[in-house]
Amino acid sequence: MRLELNEAGRPAEEVFARMTDMRGGDVDWRSGKAAVYVFHSGDDVLQVAHEAYGMFISENGLGPAAFPSLRRMEKEVIQMALALQNAPESAAGSMSSGGSESILLAMKACRDYTLGRREIHGRPEVVVPYTAHPAFNKGAHLLGMKVVRVPTVDYVSDVEAMAAAVCENTVMLVGSAPCFPYGLVDPVADLGRLAERRGLWLHVDACVGGYVAPFVREVGVEVPAFDFALPGVSSMSADLHKYGYAAKGASTVLYRDRAMLQAQVFDFDDWPCGRMVTPTLAGTRPGGAIAAAWAVMNYLGRAGYVDRARRISSTREKLTAGVRQLGMDTFGEPRLSIAAFGTAQFDVLAAGERLYAQGWFSSRVRDPDGIQYMISPEHDKTIDAYLAVLGRAVADVRAGKVAQSGGDIRYS
């Protein structure tokens, strides 16, 4: 039986009671039990995002002439983003609905920009490290492009192998800052030199790092260079709904040059309403997402982000020390907000499944097997509890009290 719209409507209290009931089964992220999906940086930040989103809930970013407020907020968000990423005067960018869309838009811009300047026979190719986000393959699928995934060394891009994978159809190289699986920054400076040498577009996927790395550096952690200060970097994706602590539905895609952004725009004229120019995939764009990002950035300021970066960095140190005490180690040396860890000594995924059964959510990695942990600022309050639960799970696995892991990693 298919559910149908109820006949008379329901009182709002009843609607909310039902939703409260439904969310009873959700991960309890407010108690620090989600190390993926949610980026909790404090109730005050949530309230600012919530109120700003509500204030512009009906406004539509599709109509900048009707809503100069949104045009101005997006422009200011992009200016702040470009400044954080040491972008030159010529740089430009736009907001999008998320990292996947930012990546897809950068690929579209690269494709059209390059095809306007160079002949390509066959599908334009994108050379990425094995650790790059699946959004590149999704983008290539939609854009008629091809992704070549190149094996990594020590969990980061093998620049020589990537150079060898470049062919006459290659248009784009990709580095991550950091990659999602292990939280490690690719050697973007070397990739930039390769891009310059071969006349290629280098995209830096800083969906995670864009809004955390600049501040982690300020608390004294060394992070490899990856921004526009490197002359070989052409574009960057950086998510506001991750470490910008904005409401979901907000990312930025940035370009070294305005002409590159122009290649992202879709301009159409052949229908009854006349010319329609849309910079992103969407038509209607939620005003709330733009407003919440602007509000949170202004509310936090540099000091607010530095404070969150300090909390993240101390949690990362605790996590790293804790997993080493349990006989595991991180894969590579993470310096930002993601760490993946494991060991060849026991079935770490079985320990992860034990945590999962107790309501602690995180991602997992394979090659090798490991648990991936994405740190929120608020995790500084719960990292000790996490390590205690992890310790018990590991002890049970070592004692043979836990079933072997299923092995298959699913994200749905």
Ligand X SMILES: *Cc1c(COP(=O)(O)O)cnc(C)c1O
Q: Which residues, 6+ apart, have CB-to-CB distance to 70 below 8 Å? A: 56, 59, 60, 61, 64, 287, 290, 291
Among residues 61, 93, 99, 370, the one that binds ligand X under rule CB under 6 A:
99
Among residues 191, 207, 240, 291, the one that binds ligand X under rule CB under 6 A:
207
Q: Closest distance between ligand X and the C-beta of residue 95, in Å?
A: 12
> Is residue 157 within the footprint of ligand X (CB under 6 A)?
no
- Binding map of ligand X across residues 101-140, x = CB under 6 A, - = no contact: --x-----------------------------x-x-----
From 24-32, 98-106, 140-148, 195-203, give the range in contact with ligand X by CB under 6 A.
98-106
Q: Closest distance between ligand X and the C-beta of residue 404, in Å?
A: 29
From 27-35, 200-208, 294-302, 393-401, give the range in contact with ligand X by CB under 6 A.
200-208
Q: Closest distance between ligand X and the C-beta of residue 113, in Å?
A: 21
What are 156's strand-pairing partners?
153
> Is residue 175 within the footprint of ligand X (CB under 6 A)?
no
Cβ-based nearer residue to ligand X, 172 or 208: 208
> Is residue 288 within the footprint of ligand X (CB under 6 A)?
no
Question: From CA 341, how far away is CA 394, in angstroms rounded?
Answer: 13
Please, are residues 123 and 139 in contact by the beta-carbon 8 Å criterion?
A: no
Among residues 41, 114, 157, 176, the one that binds ligand X under rule CB under 6 A:
176
**285, 110, 298, 331: which is closest to 205 by C-alpha?**
110
Q: What angle do CA 52, 57, 59 make, to 5 degrees?
A: 110
| Subset of 211-250 contacting ligand X (CB under 6 A) | 239
Instruction: Classify the phi-psi angles of 330: left when phi > 0, otherwise alpha if psi is within -120 to 50, otherwise beta.
Output: beta
Cβ-based nearer residue to ligand X, 213 or 351: 213
> Is residue 98 within the footprint of ligand X (CB under 6 A)?
yes
| Subset of 179-198 contacting ligand X (CB under 6 A) | 180
Reading the block at residue 16, the tokens are 């909310």
- Measured from each CB, the residue nearest to ligand X is 99
DSSP per-residue string spanning 220-252: T------STTSTTEEEEEEETTTTT-PPSS-EE
What Rg value do the Cα atoms of the chain yield, rounded?
A: 22
